[in-house]
Structure 1
Amino acid sequence: MSEQMLGWLHSLFGPVVDWKQVLLLSMTPVFLLAFLTEWSVFRLRSGSWQTAPGERFYWKEVLANVSLGYGYYAAEAIMHLLLVGAIFATVYEHRLWTLPITVWTVPLVFVIEEFCYYWYHRAAHRVRWFWSQHVSHHSGEIMNMSTASRQSILNGGIGVWLFFLPPIFLGVHPGLIALMLGVNLTYQFFIHTEVVGKFHPFLEWLLDTPSNHRVHHGRNAQYIDKNYGGVLMIFDHLFGTYEPEVEKVEYGTPRQIKSYNFLVLNCHEFVDMLRDVAAPGPLWQRLKHLWMPPDWQRPGHTPIHTWTVERKLPAGEPVKA
Structure 2
Amino acid sequence: MTLTDMMINALRDSGLLALWETLAPWLALDERQLIFVIATPVFIGVAVWEYFRIRQDPAKMNLPEAFRNFALGAGYQATELLFAGLIAFPVYALCYHFRLLDLELNALTVFLTFIGVDFCFYWMHRSSHRVRWFWAAHVVHHSSERMNFSTAMRQNATNIFNGNWLFYLPLALIGFNPLWIGVAFALSLVYQFFIHTTVVNKLPGPVEYLFNTPSHHRVHHGRNPGYIDRNYGGTLIIWDRLFGTFVAEDAQSPPEYGITTPVPSNNLLVLWTHEYRDMFRAMARPGPLGQRLKHLWKPPEWQRRDGSR
Alignment TM-score, normalising by the size of structure 1: 0.85
- Does residue 1:284 correspond to 2:296, yes or no? no
Find the partner of 1:147 among 144, 151, 159. 151
- Does residue 1:57 correspond to 2:58, yes or no? no
Please tell me the residue identity of whatever aligns with 2:201: G
- Does residue 1:235 correspond to 2:231, yes or no? no
* Structure 1 unaligned spans of 5+: 1-10, 304-321
Q: Which has the larger displacement, 239-248 or 89-98?
A: 89-98
Count of residue pairs the alignment pairs up: 284
Please tell me the residue identity of whatever aligns with 1:14: G
Match of 2:299 in 1: 293
Match of 2:163 in 1: 159
Equivalent runs, 1:65-104 vs 2, <5 Å: 65-104=69-108
Secondary structure at 2:262's aligned position in 1? strand
Q: Residue 301 of structure 1: CA displacement?
A: 4.1
Equivalent runs, 1:162-241 vs 2, <5 Å: 162-241=166-245
1:236/1:242 contact within 8 Å kept: yes
Please tell me the residue identity of whatever aligns with 2:228: I
- Does residue 1:249 correspond to 2:261, yes or no? no
Residue by residue over 1:27-80, the C-alpha shift from the partner in whole angstroms, topping out at 9 and shown as x without a partner, is 11111111111122335xxxx2x4x5xx22112211221111000001111221
C-alpha RMSD over aligned residues:
1.4
Find the partner of 1:24 among 19, 28, 36. 36
Deviant stretches of 4+, over 6 Å: none
Residue by residue over 1:182-205, the C-alpha shift from the partner in whole angstroms, topping out at 9 and shown as x without a partner, is 010000101100011111222111
Separation (CA, whole Å) in 1 of partners of 2:256 and 2:33 = 31
Separation (CA, whole Å) in 2 of partners of 1:214 and 1:258 = 23
Please tell me the residue identity of whatever aligns with 1:182: A
Q: Residue 94 of structure 1: CA displacement?
A: 1.6
1:60/1:260 contact within 8 Å kept: no
Q: Residue 157 of structure 1: CA displacement?
A: 1.1
Q: Which has the larger displacement, 254-263 or 186-195?
A: 254-263
Match of 1:14 in 2: 15
1:18/1:80 contact within 8 Å kept: no
Find the partner of 1:36 among 45, 48, 56. 48
Separation (CA, whole Å) in 1 of partners of 2:136 and 2:217 = 20
1:130/1:158 contact within 8 Å kept: yes
Residue by residue over 1:63-114, the C-alpha shift from the partner in whole angstroms, topping out at 9 and shown as x without a partner, is 2211110000011112212211111111111212121111221011100100
Please tell me the residue identity of whatever aligns with 2:35: L
Separation (CA, whole Å) in 1 of partners of 2:195 and 2:214 = 4
Please tell me the residue identity of whatever aligns with 1:237: R
Q: Residue 14 of structure 1: CA displacement?
A: 3.0
Residue by residue over 1:241-272, the C-alpha shift from the partner in whole angstroms, topping out at 9 and shown as x without a partner, is 00000011100112221321111111111111
Residue by residue over 1:133-191, the C-alpha shift from the partner in whole angstroms, topping out at 9 and shown as x without a partner, is 10010111101000000111111111011001001011000000000000100001011
Find the partner of 1:270 among 276, 285, 309. 276
Q: Which has the larger displacement, 267-276 or 164-173?
A: 267-276
Please tell me the residue identity of whatever aligns with 2:141: H
Alignment TM-score, normalising by the size of structure 2: 0.89
Q: Which has the larger displacement, 108-117 or 86-95?
A: 86-95
Separation (CA, whole Å) in 1 of partners of 2:227 and 2:15 = 40
